[in-house]
Amino acid sequence: MLSVQDMSSDSFSTLICGVLLVVVLPVVSHLAKMVWRRKRLVDDKGNQIPHGPVGLPIIGSFYSLMSFPELKLYEWAQKFGSIYSMWLGNQLFVVISDPNVVKDLLVSNGAIFSSRKEMYVKSKLVFAGRGITTTPYDDKWKKHRRLGSTWLHKPAVEKYSNTLDDEAVVFVQDLYRHSKGGNVPIDISRHAARYPFNNMLAITFGVPPIEDVNDPFVAEAIRLAHEFMNTTGPVHNLIDFVPLLQYLPSFLSPMKARGKKLHNDLIATYGKMLLEVEERLKRQEPVPDCLAKTVLESKEELGLDQLDMAMLCAIFMIAGVFTTSSVVLWFSALIPAYPEIQAKAHEELDRVVGRDRLPTVEDEKDMPYIHALIKEVERCRNPFWLGTPHVNTHDFTYRGQFIPKDSVVIINTYTMHHDPQRYPDPHTFNPERYIDDSTMSSASANLSNPLERDHWMFGAGRRICPGMWLAEREVYLAIVRMLWAFRLEEIPGEPIDLKEYDGASGRCPVPFRVKLVPRHENVAKVLGL
């Protein structure tokens, strides 16, 4: 082995320079960037950044957000006001906790506040710079958004409404079968995931539904969705905000290793399905209209490569599975504790629908209480407790507070949903809050008065979730038909934990079981069982 003594003076100097380049320069660069960022806190008129917590050197306020971060952000909103700032590593965050401020910045000034920070784990490792929710506000994002909207806007949802309706029937049929007609407690999580998963298989890849809820493909889809939500929290990964950590090899950085593995798993699952559609098209086999077919036929015109297309399909599948399934699970976890609310919903169903048929989409307008119940679930148990971060592309001064270019601007959804001025006794589950609100959430998002908006689950501005119409339809059909068929009851000795949750980016309840009691003798007959 070569020793230091064996080295020439030039070799040793070269080694030292190499060490300086690899180790010291990144440290110096990181510290210099932090100093520069933190000095640039005042605009040319002397306006400062919003007040907020001071935090620690290097990591900022990260340590305060490691456990139940929504509660700390709520506490800071009470202390610092509806707009405040915090540092995570070298990144300045501006936290918005007021609907009027959300509208003023993200909607009225959407041209400035519609970009994204490319988080290291989510953007660079998992999506390799290609995911529609993570890319900056540029031409590539606009291409992806147009493609996505083609399959998610209202006219598109109406075209495959029969698929959604059929899968909602299968969902309730399977709940009945697997609970053995209400005689066996059931964990509905896999059922709640397979339902939107089958819809997304049809929309994204044009393939038939998975019939068996225990199919390994369903389990893999659930695992991928949950792993994504657990690795991509907006304030979750210190590696996103302390670039020095990004130089660590994967074996020393578990989150880095997880991000790379998740990327490979998405390619192995959804990238493979894209290739299968491509092969069918090359063989001139009939392929139903779907997202994969659209992107493959448009790839040259839009300049899309294989990774662009694979990641677009992957984010469709992840978001499509998780959003609907998590809302359905939160409903199922909440409602057993409120028998009087269930009874009121059941009375409305019996009066409007009766017991000889399943409720349909057309019935929703005549069932204001169930419409309100769903909105209340989405308010008090919103899976997305913090909005997907936006970034401003220019310096901006708002009400005498300076927001420097490249600040991460986030909607403090949890705090806005628990504002006692807007929602008296906000921690109480009470559908009556929305009893006079007949709007769909997709329409509510466009109201001119942001204080009249029902909730902020789907975000705001130009980056608002394009899948709102689809998610609303799926959630309604699942919940209204569960209520028509069953009375949901907690199992004695198995309390449902509503405090803990699974997920750092999007959240669903920790595993639980419920008892599904058929409401009347017609349930099996109407379900065709």
Binding site listing for heme: 465
With 0-12 / 13-18 / 19 or more C-beta atoms within 10 angstroms meaning exposed / middle / buried, residue 66 is exposed
Quote the CA–CA distance of 160 and 169 in Å, as a whole number.
Answer: 15
In 5-119, where does DSSP find H-type helix? 9-19, 25-39, 69-80, 99-102
Closest to 190 measured CA to CA, from 164, 212, 162:
212
Give me the half-sphere count of Cα atoms (radius 13 Å) on the Cβ side of residue 96.
26
Query: What is the greatest pairwise CA distance in the chain?
Result: 93
Gap between the terminal Cα atoms of the chain: 76
Quote the CA–CA distance of 384 and 471 in Å, as a whole number.
Answer: 14
Ramachandran angles phi, psi of 400, nearest 5°? 75, 10
The pair of structure tokens assigned to 36 is 């520069």
Q: Specify the amino acid at residue 107.
A: V
Residue 461: DSSP 8-state? G
* Pairing of β 91-96 and β 514-518: unpaired
The annotation places the binding site at 465
Give 444's contacts (C-beta < 8 A, 6+ positions apart).
437, 452, 453, 454, 455
Angle between helices 291-302 and 272-282 (to 10 degrees): 80
